Structure 1
Amino acid sequence: AAITPDILHQLYQGVIKHVMSWLKAAYGTEEIDARCRRFPPNHHIRLFMKGITSLRKVTGKMHADICRFLLGLIIGLPLRGSLSPVRMVRAVRALLDFLYLAQYPVHTDETLRLLNDALARFHANKQIFKDLGIREHFNFPKLHALWHYIFSITRFGTTDNYDTQYSERLHIDLAKDAYRATNHKDEYPQMTDWLLRKEKIEQYDAF
């Protein structure tokens, strides 16, 4: 528990990224992408009309958008080998429950119990991935870290207090935009000058 929970890198860019690759192996790229294209137009969920299996450089925001329909994507899909899809749905739902519960801005004993129950439900149903030959084990750090969320929340507060998504945004404002403003040769002094000018303009605008 020396490292506090990181919703962006441990969940969206970690466990959820793993889940997407497992589902791709379980159902195949064609079926998953075809189901993505069948979603009706709406104002609340981002549509991926080319599917999600061939996406490159997937951001945390894109993973968050995918999580909103991920469970609906697999409900009713049969598994190979006549295996029951019930455990698959339960396992994916459990991780999604954990994901959203972990982001609550306020917690009680009841919500922390639900958080623990969600993780326990995943582990109770994860055998389906082994039965399908997708995973040999689940011993990887980002999944193990989920067991420490309750301890960190009770000791340090809710996860929005130390969520790296907020500081990650500064990569664009303070690094990528600054780099684009250079001639891409000996960029560091130019980036520094650009940031200093930007800071002075913001200070001027504030008065």
Structure 2
Amino acid sequence: MLKDHLIHECLSIILQPLMKAAELGIMMSDPVGNIHHCFTPLAAYIVDTPEACMLTCFGDNFYHPARTHEITLEQLASIDVDPNNLEGFFAACAEFQLNGGWLLSDPAIFLTPEALHHWHKQFYNHDMQWCLAVLGVPEFDFQFSILQPITGYHHFPNRISKLKQVTGRVHCDIQHYISPEPDDNLLTSIDRSLTLFHDNKEVIMTLGAWMGAKRVIDNWHIPKLELMQSITTSTCQVGALIQWSADATEHVHVSEIKDPA
């Protein structure tokens, strides 16, 4: 708890100039040299899943709607504490998460789905493990081994269930064989597939396929799964999501930390 609080405080100090720019505005020049009074809301923040959950105080297994001004005004109207009692009023606001310090910024918007973890690792850590549990390891490995090699696709002639040093590249290679290929109606296809999954996901538990290290898991508290619910919304708000992938920042761990050490 103290470590998370420290990170929040450090971000507040470091990003204070950007917070002020969003609140008060800042003079900026356009490409031809004209000066404009600009406001800079936080559009996107590239971060790993654990950090995203920490920043948003994640604590449940369903997707929350974006915090609109209508919702904020309704919550303010429901607070029955005198605003002149600042300490009591702020405490009441905190119960509705109305104590944010970055104007015009909403975690439901700026924490975009992140391809490396929310898609590829979600698939390998969960979807593929469900397939292994339902089919059985020998059958799963056998089905992959007899697939016809295709130019441009990674072929897995040996056991796929015991792969070592699995990278994001391998995650994508396996997905070529299991995940469906979206058509031109991409966003509609994604929403339809997610709805179909949630309507039938209890079958996975019925088959005992949702396994932890030692026992069957009886809940769907998967942060990556919740964050997938915002794919279409984020795409409409901030554009193609692949530009917000953490591949580049993950590689920095190698070049700037692991190699020098």
TM-score (norm 2): 0.50
1:143 aligns with 2:225: yes
Give 2:129's match in structure 1, choosing from 1, 10, 21.
21
Identical amino acids, percent of aligned pairs: 26
Structure whose residues are more often helix by fraction: 1
The answer to whether the 8 Å contact 2:123/2:171 transfers is no
Q: Could you say what the CA RMSD is over the residues aligned between the two structures, in angstroms?
A: 2.4
CA 114–37 in structure 1, closer or farther in 2 if over 3 Å, else same: closer
The number of equivalent residue pairs is: 146
Deviations 1:5-62 (A, max 9, x none): 1110111012442111111111111111111211223312111222211112311110
1:159 aligns with 2:241: yes
How much does 1:167 deviate? 3.4
Structure 1 unmatched ranges of 5 or more: 71-95, 180-186, 188-207
How much does 1:164 deviate? 1.4
More displaced 10-residue stretch of structure 1: 136-145 or 24-33? 136-145
* Residue 113 of structure 1: aligned partner: 188
* Residue 192 of structure 1: aligned partner: none
SS of 1:35's equivalent? helix
In structure 2, C-alpha distance between the alignment counterparts of 1:15 and 1:63, rounded to whole Å? 8
SS of 2:143's equivalent? helix
Deviations 1:98-139 (A, max 9, x none): xx65xx9xx9xx532222112111112222212202232322
- The amino acid that maps onto 2:250 is E
SS of 1:47's equivalent? coil
* Residue 139 of structure 2: aligned partner: 31
In structure 2, C-alpha distance between the alignment counterparts of 1:56 and 1:117, rounded to whole Å? 34
Structure 2 unmatched ranges of 5 or more: 1-107, 211-217
* Residue 58 of structure 1: aligned partner: 166
In structure 2, C-alpha distance between the alignment counterparts of 1:41 and 1:121, rounded to whole Å? 31
Larger radius of gyration: 2
CA 174–54 in structure 1, closer or farther in 2 if over 3 Å, else same: same
- The amino acid that maps onto 2:111 is I
Deviations 1:155-175 (A, max 9, x none): 221102211123334444444
* Residue 3 of structure 1: aligned partner: 111
The answer to whether the 8 Å contact 1:4/1:162 transfers is yes
